[in-house]
Chain A
């Protein structure tokens, strides 16, 4: 290769390498801020701030959703299967909100460890299938077959 071109190629590669390094180190340093939400384990360990609004994400525990009779208020437990956090929310839940599904709640973490949410978002998983397939999977699971 022509020495001048070789030099330019090296410069170009160094530019890419250095910018990757900069971005890599920056995002490593800011990793706590890039995460959209805290996991229940982090909340339990006291890593989440209590003086401002935070997001908590995880799975809604089966059978944990209780609704108030006279208002919209809903109470449910969010878990990451290691720790769990109770969330209360006074508002309309998204359509895909359900027990056993992912959820991200924004709100204030109170002294009693309960998050009073101002917004609840459903976190959709990556599974896509026709209803018949979902039914068949459920049936197979009920009969004790191993999950695919």
Chain B
């Protein structure tokens, strides 16, 4: 088992892994996105109260869920980089930040678009929305902090500490609607008991959530591959790999 773990610390092995997985994961993700969007936007029934405007849920909820989960990916990579000093963990941490920031931005923008017709306001400073904005700043902060240092080893260490501290925010975002009075409604999908969303609307939503996870993984691999190409531009193994 340790051999598999150690392989993920080896740049040539990871590069080859990405090279092999991306060609079939990319078309799969595109198809899943098209099918999921069509299912949610065209075939799922309208809502009894909101009509068609609820359909933004098929982008908003998957983006939000993966924005939260992606933060744990970034922070775990930070922890590995901090404790075990694995260089590839730095690369993974840096790869996750812009993707997470994009997902969070999508969640905030789609939320605002839905909020206007539903609540009557684009933006409200309630606990859920504010903590989500903080998540966006954390992702952007990690990206900016890395660029702030000349020495990339120290930069990665600083980013790892920032991302670890930021993990505090994730349970706050998740539980904000239960802990405080907020305008944002509580979760519709429940892990225990029956969900507050009809199954005909729930299945396309779950499909989209899975698709957004796969898309996150795909973008991670593309980012990591690109970073490795840059970092090891003068390495023999990369030249050999590219010339094959």
A36 with B182, Cβ < 8 A, contacts A15-B161, A128-B201 known: yes
CA distance A132 to B146 in the complex (A): 53
One of A43-51, A69-77, A116-124, A139-147 contacting the partner: A116-124
The answer on a CB contact under 8 Å between A37 and B181 is: yes
Residues in chain B near residue A134, CB distance under 8 A: 48-49
Number of interface residues of B (CB under 8 A): 42
The answer on a CB contact under 8 Å between A131 and B46 is: yes
The answer on a CB contact under 8 Å between A129 and B198 is: yes
Q: Is A35 interfacial (CB-CB < 8 Å)?
A: yes
Residues in chain B near residue A119, CB distance under 8 A: 120-121
Q: How far is the CB of B130 from chain A (nearest CB, A)?
A: 8
Q: Is A111 interfacial (CB-CB < 8 Å)?
A: no
Residues in chain A near residue B47, CB distance under 8 A: 128-131
Closest residue to A57 on the B side, CB-wise? Answer: B181
The answer on a CB contact under 8 Å between A126 and B183 is: no
Q: Is B164 interfacial (CB-CB < 8 Å)?
A: yes
CB contact between A130 and one of B117, B119, B200 (< 8 Å): that residue: B200
In chain B, positions 141-175 with a C-beta closer than 8 Å to chain A are 161, 164-165, 167-169, 172
In chain B, positions 100-137 with a C-beta closer than 8 Å to chain A are 117-121, 124-127
Give the total number of A-B pairs whose CB atoms are below 8 A apart: 118
The answer on a CB contact under 8 Å between B181 and A96 is: no
Residues in chain A near residue B167, CB distance under 8 A: 16
Q: Is B79 interfacial (CB-CB < 8 Å)?
A: yes
In chain A, positions 14-41 with a C-beta closer than 8 Å to chain B are 15-16, 19-20, 23, 27, 31, 34-37, 39
The answer on a CB contact under 8 Å between B117 and A95 is: yes
The answer on a CB contact under 8 Å between B127 and A34 is: yes
CA distance A93 to B118 in the complex (A): 11
Closest residue to A39 on the B side, CB-wise? Answer: B181
Q: How far is the CB of A70 from chain B (nearest CB, A)?
A: 24
The answer on a CB contact under 8 Å between A123 and B183 is: yes
The answer on a CB contact under 8 Å between B48 and A133 is: yes
Q: Is B180 interfacial (CB-CB < 8 Å)?
A: yes
Residues in chain B near residue A9, CB distance under 8 A: 79, 83
CB contact between A128 and one of B57, B124, B168, B180 (< 8 Å): that residue: B57
The answer on a CB contact under 8 Å between B82 and A125 is: no
Per-residue contact bits, chain B 182-201, to A (CB 8 Å; 1 contact, 0 not)? 11011110000010111011
Q: Is A87 interfacial (CB-CB < 8 Å)?
A: no
Q: Is A52 interfacial (CB-CB < 8 Å)?
A: no
Give the interface centre of B127, B181, B200 by most chain A CB atoms within 10 Å: B181
Give the interface centre of A8, A9, A20, A36 by most chain B CB atoms within 10 Å: A36
Q: Is A104 interfacial (CB-CB < 8 Å)?
A: yes
Q: Is A68 interfacial (CB-CB < 8 Å)?
A: no
Give the interface centre of B54, B183, B188 by most chain A CB atoms within 10 Å: B183
Which A positions have Cβ atoms within 8 angstroms of B? 5, 8-9, 12, 15-16, 19-20, 23, 27, 31, 34-37, 39, 57, 93-97, 104, 119-135, 148
A-B contacts, 22 listed (Cβ < 8 Å): A9-B83, A15-B164, A16-B165, A19-B168, A23-B172, A36-B180, A36-B181, A37-B181, A39-B181, A93-B120, A119-B120, A119-B121, A121-B121, A124-B50, A125-B196, A126-B188, A128-B188, A128-B196, A128-B198, A129-B201, A130-B45, A134-B49
